[in-house]
């Protein structure tokens, strides 16, 4: 063990180089051909399969698994990708244990579902590694569509629109496309540049132009897009981060978990990413777990994830919680942040324990902390947006907003869980509706 792990403060290079590579290697190594066949043989090819119902993109799972089992993984990939153009990323990041694999009848029968996520990855990797893009553009319609946000929702919409023959311009605020796939997912879930590779592969459909460094109110406006294009799709995600509401949260060392995750993903060398010795992550979702686990992987000595409710209420799945625990993350529940202590930079963070109804108990907890990550949810940002439903853009079942010619999907839109797979489904379905309107 390097002595650097005991050093106080936020420091890079706590581990030796080999440790970083091992720590951030693929969470689920890919199935090889033999493993895929063994896994595929377990599928019962259910009638009206529950796994399909559980999939937000309605992938015909029994069919693609049968295609793997019969030696045609590329056909399997087409089955997947025709429903979910980001089937490769979803195979890596979907919480399958609460979606398709939870619904698998073999989960009921034996407590061991068919490895649907890993089989999906096997098939999509098989096709994409050959550089094959199995879809072709339809006849040109002469229509132009603006997509705002190059995340899963936007790219899904863009691909489907391009396939239908429309010309698409995708505007994004970041220097790279991919949205949360590129900036918001733990490094060990999608190593080796998969996110960018998938976007490059997706763009092979043609007809999609990327415009970087453009966000609403900065270079482009919604009205401007509505004037210049035949239709607009908003997949802008949630750009803001909720505040803690705790005294002293502006002290040094207190930052947003999403920024930490993004910086880590963009780092060319994990050894350059600084991390505290005593890290506290506040929140209970995937972002919180991704931040906590990666803090640990970077060599933080003590990582505590603090959530205001019980574990059963955490948005992070049981699998994610167990993953965190297995990496040495301590999970504290029923505690809300009260104050950040420290002289300039955080030294300690103080919580109060609360009951199930979030009433303070008067009992407090103080944790040593030289770094605090806030992961208590993100918020929609932007002016002159379509009508909201609560804190998100109000949409109907096909993504139509209150504004004519404007659709929305993904995390920024109402309805559905904030999952990659949900965003892909919403982008796809909005695109089909837009197509109907554009050519109708």
The residues of the shown chain that bind another protein, judged by CB under 8 A, are 37-38, 41-42, 44-50, 105-106, 108-109
In what helix (H) or strand (E) does residue 231 lie, and over which residues does it extend? strand 231-234
Q: Which is nearer to another protein, 97 or 200 (CB)?
A: 97
DSSP state, residue 67: H
Q: Which is nearer to another protein, 22 or 38 (CB)?
A: 38
Least gap, CB of 57 to another protein (angstroms): 21
Q: Which is nearer to another protein, 110 or 213 (CB)?
A: 110
Q: Which is nearer to another protein, 49 or 236 (CB)?
A: 49
Q: Which is nearer to another protein, 111 or 344 (CB)?
A: 111
Length of the chain: 440
Least gap, CB of 44 to another protein (angstroms): 5
Least gap, CB of 108 to another protein (angstroms): 5
* Alpha carbon distance 349, 372 (integer Å): 8
| CA angle (208 as vertex; 204, 210 as ends), nearest 5 | 110
* Alpha carbon distance 261, 280 (integer Å): 14
Least gap, CB of 35 to another protein (angstroms): 12
> How many beta carbons lie within 10 A of that of residue 12, not counting itself?
16
Least gap, CB of 49 to another protein (angstroms): 8
Least gap, CB of 243 to another protein (angstroms): 43
Q: Which is nearer to another protein, 40 or 438 (CB)?
A: 40
Q: Beta partners for 345?
A: 252
Closest CA to 151 of 383, 422, 388, 374: 422
The stretches of 204-275 forming alpha helices (DSSP H) are 222-228, 257-266
On whether the CB atoms of residues 125 and 194 are closer than 8 A, the answer is no
């Amino acid at each position: 063990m390097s002595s650097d792990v005991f050093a106080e403060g936020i420091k890079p290079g706590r581990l030796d180089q080999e440790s970083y590579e091992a720590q951030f290697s693929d969470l689920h190594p890919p199935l090889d051909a033999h493993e895929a066949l063994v896994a595929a043989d377990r599928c019962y090819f259910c009638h009206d399969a529950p796994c399909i119902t559980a999939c937000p993109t309605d992938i015909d799972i029994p069919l693609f698994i049968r295609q793997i089992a019969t030696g045609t993984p590329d056909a399997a990939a087409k089955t997947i990708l025709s429903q979910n153009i980001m089937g490769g990323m979803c195979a890596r990041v979907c919480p399958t244990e609460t979606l398709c694999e939870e619904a698998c009848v073999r989960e009921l029968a034996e407590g061991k579902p068919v490895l649907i996520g890993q089989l999906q990855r096997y098939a999509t990797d098989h096709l994409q590694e050959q550089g094959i893009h199995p879809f072709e553009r339809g006849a040109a319609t002469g229509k132009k569509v603006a997509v705002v946000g190059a995340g899963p929702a936007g790219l899904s919409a863009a691909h489907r629109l391009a396939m239908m023959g429309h010309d698409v311009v995708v505007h994004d605020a970041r220097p790279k496309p991919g949205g949360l796939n590129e900036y918001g997912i733990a490094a060990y879930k999608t190593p080796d540049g998969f996110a960018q590779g998938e976007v490059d592969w997706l763009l092979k459909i043609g007809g999609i132009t990327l415009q970087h460094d453009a966000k609403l109110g900065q270079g482009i406006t919604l009205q401007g897009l509505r004037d210049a294009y035949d239709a607009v799709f908003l997949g802008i995600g949630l750009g803001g981060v909720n505040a803690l509401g705790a005294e002293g949260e502006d002290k040094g060392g207190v930052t947003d978990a999403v920024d930490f995750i993004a910086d880590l993903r963009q780092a060319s060398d994990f050894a350059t990413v600084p991390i505290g010795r005593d890290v506290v992550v506040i929140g209970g979702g995937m972002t919180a777990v991704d931040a906590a686990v990666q803090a640990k992987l970077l060599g933080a000595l003590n990582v505590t994830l603090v959530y205001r409710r019980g574990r059963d209420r955490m948005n992070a799945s049981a699998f994610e919680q167990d993953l965190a625990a297995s990496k040495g993350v301590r999970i504290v529940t029923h505690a809300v942040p009260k104050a950040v202590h420290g002289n300039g930079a955080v030294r300690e963070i103080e919580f109060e324990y609360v009951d199930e109804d979030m009433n303070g108990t008067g009992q407090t907890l103080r944790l040593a902390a030289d770094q605090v990550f806030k992961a208590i949810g993100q918020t929609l940002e932007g002016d002159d947006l379509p009508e909201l439903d609560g804190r998100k853009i109000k949409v109907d079942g096909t993504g139509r907003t209150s504004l004519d010619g404007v659709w929305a999907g993904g995390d920024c839109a109402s309805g559905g869980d904030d999952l990659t797979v949900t965003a892909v489904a919403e982008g796809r379905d909005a695109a089909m509706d837009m197509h109907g309107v554009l050519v109708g």
